[in-house]
Amino acid sequence: MRKLGLLFILSSFTASALFAAAPAASPFIRGDANQDKNHDIADAIKTLNYLFLGEVSSCLKALDINDDGNVDVADPIYLLTYLFAGGTPPPAPFPDCGMDPTADSLTCVSFAGCEVTEVTITGITPNHGPASGGTAVVITGSGFDAPNCRAYLCGRALTDLRVVSDTRIEATTPRGTGGQTCDLVVRNDNGQAVLPAAFTYDAVLEITSIDPTSGPPEGGTEVTITGAGFSGANLEVYLCDKRMESVQVLDVTRIRAITPIAPEPDSYCDLRVTNAYGSATLEDAFFYEPITCYTEEDIQALIDQEIGQPQCLPSPVYEDDIDFGWPIGTVHVVVCPEGCCQCSDSTPGCEVVVQDVDVDINWQERTIHAVGEGSASDWVVQVGNTNCNVDAQGTVVADMHFALEETPWEGVYKVTDVSDLVFQVTDFNIDASGGLICAALAAADELMRQQLEDELNNRSDEFLDQIREDLVGQYVCPP
């Protein structure tokens, strides 16, 4: 005891003045200087050895027995007084492991027998909820069962927090900002853990407009939809409950998409956007335009217009030797010789006009039968050295096929092709003036009829191209 008292007398300074340290990082037991989880005279000796013999300690906080923020001779005296003279027990943490409730500069890097439980977060369920808060969530992980447990989303504390076990926390989300994704932080006396981008506050899904607001019933119109909350998983866009195509989310306020085929032409459609968080609807947002459905009267007018256009036949329409028989014999005949005539459009040649075209459509057979009155006026026919003035009348018959495809709309078809146009010229009569030999031309009416028919058929592709341009791609509504 004499040696121990001498050591007390010689000590007149504190170790805290000699050793600067960072804040504590480990739990410990105050007064258990040798870290054997007992409190006895060996702990006082360990403290004195640290002070005067240079022994090292990994937890200076355990040596600060009187909790005054210093390690000095007062600490072993405090412990010996407690052990042998009925003194006051050391302050917390005592007699079990814990964190220092008093802030000071002493450190506790490690303490044998007081292992630190690491805090980890593995998930939060559900991982999204309304911006108003109030979502009941379950947080999973480890190290939760320690004093002063708190949890935070975007720095805001969760409420109604209850530590169910070391691996489970139940709590309620605070109010947030729509569309914001938050880190989750769990903090207690064991430490702290962070789960990045753990929880998303649902954006308020809203549609404000669509541009353009109308388009053809065939679909295919590219539109831009504006609004808010266009984010999250499983985003889909519908028009009249039909899914839109090529949906592209440009940002949280804009979507680009392609309209589908209309359920019905000449109708308005609601626009609907859905995602993992909800649904929004803009009523009567898009108008599908009506279709132009060709009737039989429309087709008749079209055929009448195309076939009834004056046809200018270039000179010469025909040139050959014709045997007129006795008494005329064989004579060289030129129908519409060069330089003799002009058509109504001032083009050199002789003109044929078909009028009063009557059209008959067979929808089952997919055929068009057109009959018109044809005429040729003031033609010049050179018979040998004689010029004859010729007028001709006849019936022009045109037959063709057309192809239809069904559309999504009942009773409506689309013309996909017109083909196989064939002309016939019947009931052909010639009225020629210019003398006796001209009168003989009446005997050549079959020849001239064939010439006219051949010339019209030679031009059938021109007729078809024009008819296709007007009719193919158009809708028809058979009666």
Question: Which CATH number is 120-201's, of 3.40.50.300, 1.10.101.10, 2.60.40.10, 3.40.50.2020?
Answer: 2.60.40.10
Q: Supply the pLDDT for residue 203.
A: 76
pLDDT tens-digit series, residues 387-417: 989 888 999 999 999 999 999 998 899 999 9
Identical fold between 120-201 and 206-288:
yes
Specify whether domain 2-85 bears CATH 1.10.12: no
CA–CA distance, 453 with 421 (Å, rounded to integer): 12
Q: Supply the pLDDT for residue 8.
A: 34
Question: What CATH number labels 206-288?
Answer: 2.60.40.10
Query: 22: helix, coil or strand?
Result: coil
CA–CA distance, 252 with 205 (Å, rounded to integer): 10
Are the beta carbons of 132 and 203 closer than 8 angstroms? no
CA–CA distance, 259 with 248 (Å, rounded to integer): 13
Question: Topology of domain 293-476, per CATH?
Answer: Bactericidal permeability-increasing protein; domain 1 (3.15.10)
Query: 370: helix, coil or strand?
Result: strand
User: Between 479 and 152, where is the model more confident?
Assistant: 152
In terms of Cβ atoms closer than 10 Å to its own Cβ (0-12, 13-18, 19+), residue 415 is buried
Q: Supply the pLDDT for residue 205.
A: 86
CA–CA distance, 329 with 51 (Å, rounded to integer): 153
Domain ranges of the chain: 2-85, 120-201, 206-288, 293-476
Q: What is the mean pLDDT of residues 67-92?
A: 94
Share of the chain above pLDDT 90, in %: 55
pLDDT tens-digit series, residues 231-274: 766 889 999 999 999 999 998 889 999 999 999 999 999 999 99
Crossing angle of the two packed helices 41-52 and 74-85, in degrees rounded to 10 = 170
CA–CA distance, 221 with 286 (Å, rounded to integer): 11
Strands 254-258 and 222-228 come out as antiparallel
Q: Is residue 2 pLDDT above 60, yes or no?
A: no
pLDDT tens-digit series, residues 126-145: 998 888 899 999 999 999 98
Say what the pTM is. Answer: 0.52
pLDDT tens-digit series, residues 177-194: 887 899 999 999 888 999
Q: Is residue 67 pLDDT above 80, yes or no?
A: yes
Least confident of 18-32, 66-80, 145-159, 337-351: 18-32
